Structure formats: structure tokens, C-alpha cells
Structure 1
């Protein structure tokens, strides 16, 4: 049976032989072979396997471009027939389209190949580990695992291949009173000891949820944002925050940071770190991707630029995809040991997760959202009560600026749980954050 890499290379070679100059093409290849296992009450309720391949073909001629998406059968003869039909369809469409003033193709014949083939345990072994560890727990979750492949080829001779194994176990533990703890374990090498440690932490938090709920009055509170909570805030900033296009159009939530009129804490450094990540080192537009420092010690230091923004605004592209959002974001670590978080917090909020975030004032990078799973009230370094769901409303320039006291030395890898259409390769590596003040509104 053909490997995905061989399948991709044969399709790309066929295109090189059948696309006729002055026509030019780009060809992107997305494939996965994923196990999906759903748990309820700590037992398997649904198990399945998805194997799929999608390709994106773009044809360019005389300053015009047309593209289409095809789902392949992973049978070479059938797939070549579909590709041929698609190529003919694009040829018929091109003369009907206007010239694209920002069309920019990469003329370089670059080559890139990465394969991160760390073996994953068989699904049965993972099921047995989870089932044994979840005895007596109302565990609900989904485990997704397997290789994800990305390929790119062009008429100019560019050829890129990326394949990486990964897993993502996203779960919640429910208490009889209806409260829940949400947790996640993800990466490329499943370690039973690491999973058990994460689950034990969830068990301990579940025990705290048995205590009566504490309701807080609106106001400002000292708080610790666990990595999953900080990820929600950083994720909101990725909606245009680092985009060259959004910054040029003055609708980035970090406009003030990039104009130099506002700063974040010197403790904060953020980068797009494609090297050794789960994301390919090339864009679907056919440009090699590089690591980019986005925020250095609280000041803007770089932005994500795709080929169209480069052409429109006279910038140098750095391989960003069309949305100009990070896909391998890293927040630099601090010096606060995770074991000392509660002691350093003293009295205040321990926030495991934030939910339903949105901008209450985009130009001021002001966010609103809800606490939800496993938010606790801490006194003198000890958890004393779970806290009722509260809404917060605060500016990133405060939370990650003037009010940021410390970042943890340990960081957590969080992979995208999105499976809409396909599993994603995006990831975030980030610490927890201790802040002097978080504003709760109701």
C-alpha cells in the first residue's frame, strides 16, 4: 500500500507533466489517519477511525488564479482522474476571472521535509490505561490520535512534506453536585506517568468541588490563570492581533502595542515557533515559514505577513497563511515554580479555565468572558471553596501588562481540539500567570 508521501509525490509529478506553460500551479495535500474514542462515565461509548485526504489545487495564468478543493479516494488511478477533471475545470474558469492585483507566487524551488514519527501506543492500550485510572470517576472525554500529513508542490519545483504523530485527550470529571473539572493531556509521546499525574490533579480539584460554592461580589481580585485559562486570552489576541493586514487596516486588538503607545509586561515574550512544532515549515501558499518573535519583553517585535499582505503593503513575507494567525505559538516561561503557585497567590482566585471570551472594547484589547470549570477561592495559600461562575472584564494591557506579577517556570502544551473537517496542527506552549488584579463584573 502506498504511503501518504508516495501518494502525494505521484500526484505532484502528474501535475508537473500536465500543466502547460505559461500556466503555473500550486498543490497542497492534507491527510490524516486518526483514531477517535469517546468516553462517558469512564467507559468507551464510541470508537472510530477516520482516514481521509484532501487536496487544494490552484491554477494561475496571466495574472488570474482559480482554485478548488478535492477529496481523494487514496486510489491513484481514481485520484488522477479527479485531478485531471479538476485541472480542466480550472482552465475553463480562469478566463472568466479578473486580474488579481495582489497575486504573488514563490518562484523558488525550495525543498523541506520533516517527519516526527514518535510511535503512539495502540488505541487499545490507551483505552485500558484510561479505563483503569478512571475507576469510580464520572469521566467524559474524547481521545484523538494519529499521524497528520501536509504536502506542497509547485510548478517551480518547490516540494514540501510534513508528517507528525500526535495525540490529544480532552476530558472532564463531573461531581455528583453537577460541578466539573476540565483537563487535557496532549503531545507526541504518550507517557502513562504524565497522564496519571494530570488525572490525579483533576481528582484533587474534584474533591474541592464538594465544598459549598462561594459567591464573590463584583470587584478586583488577585488571581492565578492556569495555562488553559491563559490560552483562552492569548487565543483571542491571535484573532488579528499579530496580523500585518489587520495592523495596516487599524483593526488589530494590539494596535496600541504595535504603534508603541502601550506596552505589556517585560515578563512577557511571545513567538511563532514553527521549528520542531506540529505545524509544517511551509505555508499552503508555498512559502517557507520562519520563526518570528512577536512580542519581546513586553514590546512588539514582529508580525505575521502572508504573500498578499506583502504585495499590498510592501512588506517582506514570512510564510504566514492567509489568516495571518499563529499556528505554533509559544509564550516564554517565567521563574515561578508550579509547586509554589498557591503560596504566592496567597488569597485570591485560582482559575483553571475561562470560557466564551469576546472583546468588550477591541481597540483597547479589553476582553470579557466567564470563569467556569474548577475556579477556586484561595486563602493563605490553601483552596477553601469553589467559586460560582463569574464574568470578568479587563484589558490585556492590565492583565498581561501592569498587573502581571509572575509566569510559571513550567509550561503546558495545548493542541487544538478542533476536528471540524479535519484534525488541526496548531498548538500553544505557555505557562500559567499570576496577576495582581482581575476585574469581576457580575
Structure 2
């Protein structure tokens, strides 16, 4: 989390740090409609939040703060020319209207000398879409007491972010989109005197004290294992259970380009061979950009409505994410993908391995809770490398017996979700994005864990 975000954004004159961003955005969009000149089109995107942030150390509050912020991206289009600017808005109508008016004048002046954009494409239809979902979040003061009670006697270090997230879109052709949800994301570690720790996350839009307490208790129950002498493994291939968070670490890197239509057209996709039909994954692997999860807005910055997109079906390519510019350049049909063509709501279908049976099904091998520093070692083979960390344990005959020293792995996703895949977890876990660089992010993944016959450790 950027520490600068712990200072309050400039609040309206009434002194209330919270802003009705929906009403304010609607007001600004209406003003922009009136300010554009004949022949011009304006596309306006909004990102805002009203968030509470709390850092914990030793089970006690180390830092707390509130953020109310809004950011507007204004694009002015005249024929095949476009210019854009991103500006922070404070929630005061008069001040923000003056700022928007001045920005439009600056963009208009810039268009006079701007060249035509050969790949400009945007939606010109008129539509209306609104999603507003109220969550059940703990009051920050009450949350502190819940944490203190559940973490009593534990070296609890964590970071909580929760509150309202909003995204908006408006065009001078009449389209209006609004997405507003209340959600939270809490990640924490329980530290052992050995210096090792167990990391846990809890995220969603309906806080439950009992669920949080259970997660803390489950992690605390594994602390005694960290006191045991760590198991040092040599390089080799080991049977392994990759928990949902570990699979998220792998797919998070692959998502940079693996499902992008542009990357595929330019032969840069890490899943190029899969989309080209040269290889296939296990038939039990089905991946979807699933907008029905409701964790991301169903419209993009080019004014296109978004629908769910099948990406992999029964182990084979079923589609890619196509932004408007990519569609224009390569003669494709846009499907509402954002500019980076990365999934924002990636979901994988579950299998038949119940959570209670994971250790027994693993037998002897590695339980991998999460990974870190994941990156490509061979992009075109979709080969990934990274490190295991504290949440990796050695299991014998269905029982966790020791932590494992950090090891580097190097393996191909084609293999892990292909010939090495043995079982798929029955219950996919919703893993919301915990990014807060500059602003809290929307989106995330819903993934099961996977049991693989081999996971390659190199050193």
C-alpha cells in the first residue's frame, strides 16, 4: 500500500470526507455533454473509492486511515484524432466543473496538431448499465476489537483494506455505466519465533466474525509445525498440491499476455502454442473471463459492454480477450476487453477433490500454499520459475510433518495443467485482487487447487 494514500484526499467543503461519487459523476458527465462542440465525441471514465485501511503488528493497530478519492480520464475525439487527460477530482462540484472545462479546452487545442489515429475504435451506441451492491463490512473500530480477540497471544501482522469501490463510464452518445460495490480484503501472517510465518487471506463483501476466527485458528494450529526442523529437499520432481493461492500466483503471470488477442496476433503470447492448437491441457481445465462473478465492471474505457468470454474449454483454446484497438489493427471483433487485454475475473471450474481429502490424496509430497517472485523462464514454452516460501510443507502419509526450506521451482504450465494434472479441487476459492498501488483494484480470480504428479524443484 502506498503510504501516501493514508492522508485524506481533499474533501468537499461540507467537511464530510465521504463523497456521493455516483451523483457527482453524473453531474460531471452531463456538463461534458453540454461542453463538447459539434463533431466532437467525449468518452469519460471514472475510478473512485471510499476506503478504510488498517495495519496490524503484534495483533495491535500500527496505522489506520481513510481515503476518499476520485480520478477522471477524459478523452476528446474529433474525426480520427484523439487526445486524453487524467485528472484527480475532489468532489466539490464547482471546483471539479472548472477543472473539467479547462481540461477540455486543453485537449481541444491539442487536437489541432494531432495526427489521425489509425487504430482508433470506440463504441457509438447508447446503453445504460448499473451495478450497485451493498456489502456487510465491519466498522473499523469493531474490527480492531475482533482482531485483538482472535489474535490474542499470537504474533499477528496484517493489512486490512475495505470500503466502497466505484467505476464509471459516460459518452456523449448517451451511454452511461456505473459499477459500485462494497468489499474488503484482509491478508495477515502469524509469525513463529523461528522467523517463519503462515500467511492467510480473507476477502469478500460480507464479513463474518466466525469465518475470520476460524481462519486464524486454522493458521495457528499449524504454527507448531514451523518449530520443527525444516526439511531440506534436493533438486527433483515431487508430488505436490498447489493450493488456490499458489495457482493464482502462476496464472497471474500467465495472464499478463496469455489471453491477449494482440499478443497472440504478434506471436508474443505465452500461450501461443495452446491458442494455435499445437498443444492442449487436461480436459478438466476450463477457464472463463467470468463477469458473472460481479467483481469487475461490465464495461470498458472504449464504451463497450463486457460479457463473459470462454478462454479455455476442456483444455483447448476457446477465445481471447480483444480490445477495440487490437480489433481495428488486426481485423477482429472487440469483446469489451480492457486495454491490457488481461482477465479481471478469471474463473476455473472445480473438480472432484474435497478440501478435507487433500492431504490423504497427496499422500507423500509437497503442500504448496503460495509462491513468490514468479516469472517466466521460457515464455514460449509457458515455463515459469519462482520460489516457495513459508507456506510449503512436507507431507508424509497424509500428514504434515515439517516445513520446507525455500526452493526455486521451474516448470511449465502446459505440464502442470496437462499430463501432470491428477486431481482438481472441488471448491474454487474467490481471491480478490489486493493491489492498492495508487488505488484499490477491482477484479480477482476464482480458482480451485490442483494435485500434480510432479512439481520440479531446481535448487
**TM-score with structure 2 setting the length:** 0.95
Counterpart residue number, 1:298? 315
Counterpart residue number, 1:426? 443
Please point out which of 180, 186, 194 is paired with 1:177.
194
Deviation at 1:119, TM superposition (A): 2.9
Q: Deviation per CA, 1:252-285, whole angstroms, max 9, x where unpaired?
A: 0000100111011111111101124221110122
Counterpart residue number, 2:8? none
1-structure distance, mates of 2:126, 2:391: 51
Please point out which of 186, 197, 200 is paired with 2:203.
186
2-structure distance, mates of 1:276, 1:430: 12
2-structure distance, mates of 1:240, 1:273: 18
2-structure distance, mates of 1:19, 1:187: 40
Please point out which of 142, 164, 167 is paired with 1:147.
164
Deviation at 1:124, TM superposition (A): 1.3
2-structure distance, mates of 1:188, 1:382: 34
2-structure distance, mates of 1:374, 1:273: 29
Equivalent residue of 2:256, what SS? coil
CA contact (8 A) 2:345 2:445 kept: yes
Please point out which of 41, 46, 51 is paired with 1:34.
51
Deviation at 1:249, TM superposition (A): 0.3
CA contact (8 A) 1:279 1:328 kept: yes
Mapped pair 1:401 → 2:415:
no
Bigger drift between 120-129 and 175-184 goes to 120-129
Equivalent residue of 1:106, what SS? coil
Deviation at 1:205, TM superposition (A): 2.2
2-structure distance, mates of 1:95, 1:201: 63
Equivalent residue of 1:57, what SS? strand
1-structure distance, mates of 2:393, 2:293: 36
Equivalent residues, number: 442
1-structure distance, mates of 2:359, 2:45: 48
CA contact (8 A) 2:390 2:404 kept: no
Q: Deviation per CA, 1:365-411, whole angstroms, max 9, x where unpaired?
A: 00001000221100100111100000000011111111011111112
Please point out which of 231, 256, 265 is paired with 2:282.
265
CA contact (8 A) 1:275 1:281 kept: no
Mapped pair 1:75 → 2:92:
yes
Alignment of 1:36-51 (within 5 A): 36-51=53-68
Please point out which of 335, 341, 344 is paired with 2:358.
341
Counterpart residue number, 2:7? none
2-structure distance, mates of 1:366, 1:355: 15
Mapped pair 1:12 → 2:29:
yes
Please point out which of 159, 164, 173 is paired with 1:156.
173
1-structure distance, mates of 2:31, 2:293: 31
2-structure distance, mates of 1:265, 1:11: 50
Runs of 4+ residues over 3 Å off in structure 1? none
2-structure distance, mates of 1:412, 1:196: 18
CA contact (8 A) 2:288 2:310 kept: yes
2-structure distance, mates of 1:315, 1:52: 36
Counterpart residue number, 2:225? 208
2-structure distance, mates of 1:130, 1:346: 35
CA contact (8 A) 1:209 1:374 kept: no
Counterpart residue number, 2:114? 97
Equivalent residue of 2:112, what SS? helix
1-structure distance, mates of 2:67, 2:197: 30
Counterpart residue number, 2:104? 87
2-structure distance, mates of 1:244, 1:204: 45
Q: Deviation per CA, 1:123-146, whole angstroms, max 9, x where unpaired?
A: 112111111100111111100000
Q: Deviation per CA, 1:286-343, whole angstroms, max 9, x where unpaired?
A: 1100101101111110110010011111111110000000001111111100000000
CA contact (8 A) 2:390 2:403 kept: no
Counterpart residue number, 2:142? 125
1-structure distance, mates of 2:54, 2:302: 33
Equivalent residue of 1:8, what SS? helix
Consecutive unaligned residues in structure 2, runs of 5 or more: 1-13
Deviation at 1:199, TM superposition (A): 1.3
